[in-house]
Amino acid sequence: MHTEVASIPDVPEASTFRVKGRVTYRETPELRELLLGHVQAASGSKMVVELSGVQEIDTTGAAVLVESVRAGQKKGIRMLLCSPSEPVMKIFELAGFEEALNCCTPSPAETKRRLLA
């Protein structure tokens, strides 16, 4: 798994995490620490996890994403899951993670539109 942290141009107080590669039980402790750590320390109110580069994900990876969304909501952070790859969408659907599916946006442009709305 590879992650990058960036900002979203023209979207104040938003940070983006780009996740690439595998997100399975081996990688999820690192992803969990990164995302939940950012939620706890966040000074902004918007967060995006870009998932187009995820080639493989299991239920533990999906659970970490849902946990991060919930933690963000409790802290008043609006979190969106941008451009989820086919494996990500498939695991969300199979696991019945409606909450995660509701946070998914199909493109960076739609993500920006929803964050600015």
Express each pLDDT in 22-51 by its tens digit. 999 999 999 999 999 989 987 678 899 999
Q: What are phi and psi of 15, to 5 degrees?
A: -125, 150
In a domain, 8, yes or no: yes
| Residues lower than pLDDT 50 in the chain | none
Bridge-based pairing of strands 104-105 and 78-82 is parallel
Select from 15, 13, 9 the least CA-distant residue to 68: 15
Residue 70: inside a domain, yes or no? yes
| DSSP annotation of 44 | S
Q: Is the dihedral of CA 49, 55, 61, 66 positive or negative?
A: positive
Q: Is residue 43 part of a domain?
A: yes
Q: How far apart are CA 17 and CA 69, in angstroms?
A: 13
Q: What is the pLDDT of residue 59?
A: 94
pLDDT for the residue numbered 108: 86
Phi, psi of 66 (to 5 degrees): -65, -45
> Is 117 a domain residue?
no
pLDDT given for residue 33 in this prediction: 94
Assess if residue 116 is contained within a domain: no
Which residue range(s) make up the domain with 52? 2-111
Identify the burial level of 21 via C-beta atoms within 10 angstroms of its C-beta, where 0-12 means exposed, 13-18 middle and 19 or more buried: middle
106 located within any domain: yes
107 within some domain: yes
The pLDDT score that the predictor gives to residue 7 is: 61
**For the chain, how many structural domains are there in total?**
1
List the CATH number of the domain containing 9: 3.30.750.24
Q: Determine the length of the chain.
A: 117
